[in-house]
Structure 1
Amino acid sequence: MVSKVPEPLPVERLGRRCDPKVLARAAAAKGGESGLVGQERGLSALRLAVEIRHNDFNLFVLGPQGTGRRTAVENILRKHASTRKPSEDWVYVNNFDDPHKPVVLGLPPGAADKLRDEMARVVDDLANDIPALFESEEYQTQRRAIDEEFGERQEQAMADFTSRARAEDIALIRTPMGFMVAATRNGEVVKTEDFKKLPEAEQDVIEEKIARFQAELSEVLSNGPKLEREHRIRIEALNAEMAGRVVSSRIDEAREVLGDTKVVADFLTRVHDDMIENPELFLQAAAQKSNGPFPEALGKAHLEPVFRRYMVNVMVAHSADAKGVAPVVVEDLPTFDRLVGRIEHISQMGSLVTDFTLIRPGALHRANGGYLVLDARRVLSEPYAWDALKRSIKERAIKITSLAERMSLFSTTSLEPDSIPLDVRVVLVGDRFLHELLVMLDPDFQELFKVQADFEESVVRNDETLAGMSLLLRHYAEKEELLPLADDALARLLDEATRIAEDATKLSLRLSPVTDILREAEHYARAESVAEVRRQDIERAVEEQDRRASRVRDRVQESIARRTVMIDTEGRKVGQINGLSVHEMGGFRFGRPSRITARVRMGTGKLIDIEREVELGGPLHSKGVMILSGYLTSTYALDVPFSLHASLVFEQSYGGIEGDSASCAELVALLSALSQKDVRQDMAMTGSVNQLGEVQAIGGVNEKIEGFFDICAERGLTGAQAVIIPAANVDHLMLRDRVMEAVAAGRFGIIPVSTVDEAVELLTGVPAGKRGADGNFPDGSVNKLVEARLREFAQVRKSFASRGPAPEAGEHT
């Protein structure tokens, strides 16, 4: 039975074209909706992550760039943010008992700024009121009374001592070394030589008096520091009493302004007590100010370093109009400090010092109570950022530490601020490969990020998705303030989305390259002062994109046209075929034909892949060649040893070759060399083959066809030229108009095949032949000739073996 030779595809199978009328009707039926198309799986996962109340259901958004995944994430988060419970404000205040451990306060939303501003006003007011109070007549009168009282007490003690001593002829003498006592007679101090002339009994009496009064003098003098302490305590009590009046009054006013929240009330109480204990801070600041060139009042006292102890460092604050709306924070530079916050230092007399007012918030603080969106790759590339993020999520708290101290870069005074409770939903955006790496290498990842939103790269092309995409693109044009799209321009743009998807039954959901074309087309439309983007503007944008990136492709085609690179597009050759490959440079892909040659001879069953031997062939290409060997050994001359020595090579190929898309062409070249049947050179072929001889689908089919077509068009189309592709790739065809027009005119052909036998018949013009019931291939068929050649090799090899060592036979072509 003669097998039917595959026919060229009709032009309508070479690419789908969107009908603008159908598109307009579908869009009208769809209504005014606009949003992501075909991403129900990812959007469903995203909604689960934002709505579920459990804390560890953080989200990893994966998929290719340009699908609108990040925009969709932000839109949904912002929409859902209004439904979440308002988060608290967080501030750091001074720990008056242990300043290096600042205290964190959680406040009702909107209260942080209010507390900070009120404390600044309190300090400003007291910086003027307290010094004025201490300069008042009332204070000065009480202070003088205390000073006079203690002065009189000290003088009275000395007077009493002097009186008692004088009564017993003892005088108090002031010397450079201090006070001392000495004996007197007749009002004169007894000199040493006169003292020695006195009777011994009188000397003893005088010495006893001197010793007694010297001891009393020591006691009187020792009471001086005690009196000074008492004096200071009385003064401090007076100061506290006086300061307490104005401080208590001002703090009470602050309580009324700030409300009766317990945490605020406790803080104000502690501030009140400290201000009363340290009124001298206000007096010193006033004295320093009055000694300056401008002795005006302290209008902004809270800016003075001495008053930092009373300030409020706001970490998270919500404005009054943002109450009830959870924050959505997108951090594009997720370093360690920008995630969890940092502690800054200032230089002071050659040393680095810090305090609680130098604590700065991070993205986790700003997103607390809401959502934090991060780029996964950037987080992982920043030192310590990933560990800090995981620790914060696990502990549900933000702990601020110094990265420099952690890395032991330098040692200086630092702080240990309280941790801030964390309630945030983290959304990581990354690609699938990164997601798989985290699943495999980080045991914490799946515990912390339980939801994955996998965004599709393409969607089935039908009226519904076309309508959805059309509305999405029109909405994008409106949002970006572009010219409106004409229906035929929109249809052409959607066809390009199908081309990008590499599948005529799909629409690419990678919106970035599609919108790039739209914006460039809109530029050309504006340049011509038209009211809307037309089909020809889209066409021009596509052509210009190709032209800008096609320098290498043009040089390759030029080298083929000048016969520098040898590619035949006419005639027939044995063991030679035109294979097709795809090259990609900077996102631009183009097809290139390559001459593949095969040579065979008798041998020991070795199939040499020259590309692999010289380490130019990748593993997939090597796998394809090994499959050829498996096909040959399992299909032909099964009852004799496989005695073939063959070589395969891509001629004039000087770079690496990867992929198995040329394996079917290589097999045809081998079969041609074995059967001595020549192969048509006006055809090119692409497709991989398995060990059963079935032709399998490959990638880049459109670019490969167009690459060979352009060479043929350069030399002149004859109508016999064609490209053979796998039948499984027919649904992927989305060829350019120039190819479809040539096919419609009968000047070029695209022929699908399912088996290598079909390809052999097309390329040799000879039936491939199927093994009959008797176990033999039909006479004259290519497979019959191949099997006969392999049997001949086996017989020759056997005869050589029986005769002993002998020179090898020459090469057969």
Structure 2
Amino acid sequence: MEKPFELAYTELKKGCFPEELSFRTTAEIKPLEGVIGQERAVKAFDFGLAVKMKGYNIYMAGPSGTGKTTYARNSTEKLAQTEPVPYDWCYVYNFQNPRSPLALCFEPGQGKQFKEDMAELVQLFKTELQKAFRAEDYETQKNTLEHSFDEKRDALMAEMSAVAEQYSFQVKTTNAGVFFMPVVEGKAVGEDEYDDLSEDVKNKIEKNSQMVQEKAGSIMRELRDMDKESKRQTDQLDYKTGMFAIGHHVNAVQEKYQEYERVISYINAVQEDVLENISQFVEEEEDGEDSLASLLPMLGKKPAEDVTLKYKVNLIVDHSDSKGAPIVVTFNPTYNNLVGEVEYDSEFGNLTTDFMKIKGGLFHKANGGYLLVQAQDILSTPQAWEALRRVMKTREINMDSIREQLGAVVAPTLKPEPIPANIKVIMIGSSYYYELLNEYDEEFDKFFKIRADFDYEMPRTDENIRKIAQFIKRFVDREGCMEFDVSAVCAIVEYSSRTAERQDKLSTRFNHLAEILCEAVTWAKLEGAELVTAAHIQKTIYEKEQRMKLYEEKLDEMLEENVIMIDTEGAEIGQINGLAVLDMGNYAFGNPSRITATTYVGKSGIVNIEKEARLSGQTHDKGVQIITGFLGQTYAQNFPLSLSCRVCFEQNYNGIDGDSASSTELYCILSSLAELPIRQDLAVTGSVNQKGEIQAIGGVTHKIEGFFDLCRKRGLTGTQGVIIPVSNVKDLVLKDEVVQAVKDGLFHIYPISKIDEGIELLMGLSAGKKNKTGNFPANSVHGRVMKKLKAFDKRAQGEEE
């Protein structure tokens, strides 16, 4: 049996040394521009920004803290500054359909000017119309017109009186109209007196009444026609006078906005409405207020400005001060925030609204530019995704009330005219949300044709190390804090590599690095230092771990007190030390656990006790089935397996998943079958396949450190160590105390690629190789296992016979 290969201390981590860098402090370097290590994502994102066609919105996928939002905002801002400023938008009164306000667009800045021009025009309406209709010339024309019709009316009334008198009737005029009263003996007879008349007199009156009605009917028609003509000519005079007073002012505004056809039509509608309602502008001022109205102002007349409300302009998008295309970043994308809303007032218990209550949303602000949203925010807010997809699909902003959509409309609603939308949406989130949307929205890939994937790691190159130093410099400049010396930069690089859990990689989760930088600056200030050094970085990491390792300390106490039973010395049959990682969110640590196996004659095969107790995950169940495949491939080519086996993670009450313990469980089963003890000063991790090859696992650094910490507390013997897959060697970024222990020969790390290598390390006996007849050497581990399995088979067959 050959001496096992173990790793040298230089292979346990990849250090970063000050002499490898070309500066002494960050004061000597320039701050970082852009993002680090995301070439693929940057290329996809920049291409997505360049495509201006429908559907080329961008989804930025990747873990949090990789700089997606920061890069998206900075990169988009640079491009937006070179793009044209979009239109201004406003809503105005619709004289044809007041419930559907009209949307008008203007070149940037002209919307605000139009609002001011219309306000000024309405003021001119007030003053000019008051002046024109109080002028002596207008009064003269109106009086002449009224006098002319009065003379004609008097003549017709005299003619009617003569006809009435001829038949003994008298003409009476009231507000209700003209009627005839009978005259008897020179006296007009009223209703009460009429009943006292004789039947002959009544009959005569009835006969004369019919004659009067027939002869006076034509005169009545002439009176009605004359009244209509009087009103028509009076209205014509008012229209002519009003047009003369305001027409040139209206023409001046129309000429200013002559390139906007819809604006010209709107101003014409305003003019016609004003001329049709001149009385609103020229009412006589009251000498005094009504006493009740003065006591209860709410019952009085509406304020004068209400008369001109429908001539106002509601400017909802104003780009008068904008430079370039707009960029809107939101973390609260509620339906009303996105689409806008129509507000309501309560008057005497009733809800009222008008077009001036329309408030624009984020879609309006971002129209013609870019909208940055978080996928989680969109999906966790009711109706937000529906609002976003509707705008992307229809390319218009339709301000439907959410209450209307939910069928909860209890007040008069407005239906503002939709506004054309040209918005590039940049959604930022994890790959999980991308897959979720892609699964449940069949049109999602039509809306987001560009996916920019941000990686959680990047190659550990000299260029990327230099960029990390520049990232630190950018942090220093942004926060206005003290500089970092070269040793601190090296410590950050090593921490980044440890976070990535690879010697040849660096983490791209820069929010984690920024946390370390912030806290390191604070520790340096508390010590009165002028520069942040590696000692401050190390203290920061240590203190950060101490704040989060309460659960780990509780477990350590139970291990020290042997409440959780783990042996770190000696050897035992059917017992082995496995390694797991407990992830607490922002903090993970390794945790050793005892695995045991018992074997006996039977047909049940390998039974996973965790599965029977419903504490096993699917991947762990798969690992147990792989072990069965290995046993059948290795030993049961000439006879069936007559084996019952129970495998258990002792003192596990919270469940377990993953196949990283499958090789560990296999060693334990083989030990029980071969009746050979396993070294307890070694812990094992690694996945095994059906061919007996050891496969890579995750969290190898934390697993080694977890067993090392336990051994160190009990006292390092010089024989303790961990067996890991050889394919995990590049993943080792161990703490300095582990590296030192390996350097001093007090701890050992053995990389293996085959199950046989682990067998020899753990049991101190050759694993054995199968000969041409399919047997193993009798004194090898495999030979002992096969001998036991054959004995189980014979015993099982004997019991059957």
TM-score by length of 2: 0.91
1:764-783 aligned within 5 A: 764-783=763-782
Unaligned runs of 5+ in 1: 295-300, 803-813
Distance 1:193 1:340 in 2: 74
Deviation at 1:780, TM superposition (A): 2.0
Of 275-284 and 784-793, the range deviating more from structure 2: 275-284
Cα gap change, 1:125 to 1:293, in 2 (>3 Å): farther
Distance 2:284 2:618 in 1: 79
Distance 2:420 2:272 in 1: 28
Cα gap change, 1:406 to 1:192, in 2 (>3 Å): closer
1:126 is paired with a residue whose SS is: helix
Distance 1:46 1:188 in 2: 102
Contact 1:181 / 1:214 at 8 angstroms: preserved in 2? Answer: no
Does residue 86 in structure 1 map to residue 76 in structure 2? Answer: no
Does residue 702 in structure 1 map to residue 701 in structure 2? Answer: yes
Cα offsets for 1:693-747 (capped at 9, x unmatched): 1111111111111111111111111111111111111100111112112222222
Letter in structure 1 aligned against 2:397: I
Cα offsets for 1:172-205 (capped at 9, x unmatched): 35499964365688x788999999999x9xx99x
Contact 2:38 / 2:454 at 8 angstroms: preserved in 1? Answer: yes
Does residue 522 in structure 1 map to residue 521 in structure 2? Answer: yes
Deviation at 1:360, TM superposition (A): 2.1
Cα gap change, 1:94 to 1:193, in 2 (>3 Å): closer
Deviation at 1:778, TM superposition (A): 2.7
Cα offsets for 1:556-615 (capped at 9, x unmatched): 001000111111111111111111111112321111110111111111251111111111
Deviation at 1:88, TM superposition (A): 1.7
1:187-266 aligned within 5 A: 211-255=210-254, 258=257, 260-266=259-265
1:561 is aligned to 560
Contact 1:315 / 1:361 at 8 angstroms: preserved in 2? Answer: yes
Distance 2:284 2:642 in 1: 104
Letter in structure 1 aligned against 2:51: I
Distance 1:353 1:99 in 2: 13
Distance 1:109 1:302 in 2: 33
1:56 is paired with a residue whose SS is: coil
Deviation at 1:136, TM superposition (A): 3.4
1:496 is aligned to 495
1:452-601 aligned within 5 A: 452-601=451-600
Cα offsets for 1:92-132 (capped at 9, x unmatched): 21111111122221211221111112212222332344334
Distance 2:304 2:550 in 1: 64
Distance 1:411 1:341 in 2: 19
Distance 1:742 1:313 in 2: 75
Of 536-545 and 600-609, the range deviating more from structure 2: 600-609
Cα offsets for 1:55-84 (capped at 9, x unmatched): 221111111111001111111111111233
Cα gap change, 1:188 to 1:339, in 2 (>3 Å): closer
Cα gap change, 1:195 to 1:61, in 2 (>3 Å): closer
Distance 2:195 2:439 in 1: 105
Letter in structure 1 aligned against 2:315: V
Deviation at 1:355, TM superposition (A): 2.5
1:304 is paired with a residue whose SS is: helix
Deviation at 1:440, TM superposition (A): 2.7
Distance 2:194 2:713 in 1: 137
Does residue 180 in structure 1 map to residue 180 in structure 2? Answer: yes
Letter in structure 1 aligned against 2:5: E
Distance 1:290 1:140 in 2: 27
2:315 is aligned to 314
1:24 is paired with a residue whose SS is: coil
Distance 1:510 1:693 in 2: 37
1:805 is aligned to none
Cα gap change, 1:777 to 1:229, in 2 (>3 Å): same
Distance 2:238 2:701 in 1: 92
Distance 2:96 2:287 in 1: 27
Cα offsets for 1:186-226 (capped at 9, x unmatched): x788999999999x9xx99x998765445444544554444
2:621 is aligned to 622
1:271 is aligned to 270
Deviation at 1:257, TM superposition (A): 5.4
Contact 2:124 / 2:246 at 8 angstroms: preserved in 1? Answer: no
Does residue 449 in structure 1 map to residue 427 in structure 2? Answer: no
1:633 is aligned to 632
Deviation at 1:633, TM superposition (A): 1.4
1:582 is paired with a residue whose SS is: strand
Contact 1:60 / 1:452 at 8 angstroms: preserved in 2? Answer: yes
Cα gap change, 1:658 to 1:173, in 2 (>3 Å): closer
Unaligned runs of 5+ in 2: 296-301
Letter in structure 2 aligned against 1:366: K
Letter in structure 1 aligned against 2:741: A
Contact 1:183 / 1:210 at 8 angstroms: preserved in 2? Answer: no
Aligned match of 1:8 in 2, 6, 11? Answer: 6
1:226-375 aligned within 5 A: 226-255=225-254, 258=257, 260-283=259-282, 304-319=305-320, 321-323=321-323, 325-375=324-374
Letter in structure 1 aligned against 2:768: G
Letter in structure 2 aligned against 1:620: T
1:763 is paired with a residue whose SS is: helix
Cα gap change, 1:786 to 1:13, in 2 (>3 Å): same
Distance 2:455 2:182 in 1: 109
Distance 1:545 1:194 in 2: 114
| Aligned CA-pair RMSD | 3.1
Distance 1:192 1:551 in 2: 111
Distance 1:225 1:197 in 2: 35
Deviation at 1:32, TM superposition (A): 6.2
Q: Identity, % of aligned pairs?
A: 35
1:57 is aligned to 56
Cα gap change, 1:770 to 1:31, in 2 (>3 Å): farther
Distance 1:719 1:761 in 2: 19
Deviation at 1:529, TM superposition (A): 2.8
1:21 is aligned to 19
1:711 is aligned to 710
Does residue 607 in structure 1 map to residue 606 in structure 2? Answer: yes
1:806 is aligned to none
Cα gap change, 1:287 to 1:587, in 2 (>3 Å): farther
Distance 2:207 2:778 in 1: 153
Contact 2:364 / 2:397 at 8 angstroms: preserved in 1? Answer: yes
2:21 is paired with a residue whose SS is: helix
Letter in structure 2 aligned against 1:64: P
Distance 1:691 1:184 in 2: 131
2:422 is paired with a residue whose SS is: coil
Distance 2:693 2:447 in 1: 46
Contact 2:170 / 2:183 at 8 angstroms: preserved in 1? Answer: no
1:297 is aligned to none
Letter in structure 1 aligned against 2:126: A
1:361-440 aligned within 5 A: 361-440=360-439
Distance 1:626 1:194 in 2: 121
1:693 is aligned to 692
Deviation at 1:303, TM superposition (A): 8.5
Deviation at 1:385, TM superposition (A): 2.7
Letter in structure 2 aligned against 1:343: V
Deviation at 1:542, TM superposition (A): 0.7
TM-score by length of 1: 0.90
Cα gap change, 1:150 to 1:12, in 2 (>3 Å): same
Cα gap change, 1:302 to 1:628, in 2 (>3 Å): farther
2:779 is paired with a residue whose SS is: coil
Distance 2:287 2:392 in 1: 48
1:809 is aligned to none
Distance 1:361 1:165 in 2: 69
2:299 is aligned to none
Contact 1:330 / 1:373 at 8 angstroms: preserved in 2? Answer: yes
Cα gap change, 1:289 to 1:632, in 2 (>3 Å): farther
Letter in structure 2 aligned against 1:313: N
Cα gap change, 1:87 to 1:189, in 2 (>3 Å): closer
1:95-114 aligned within 5 A: 95-114=94-113
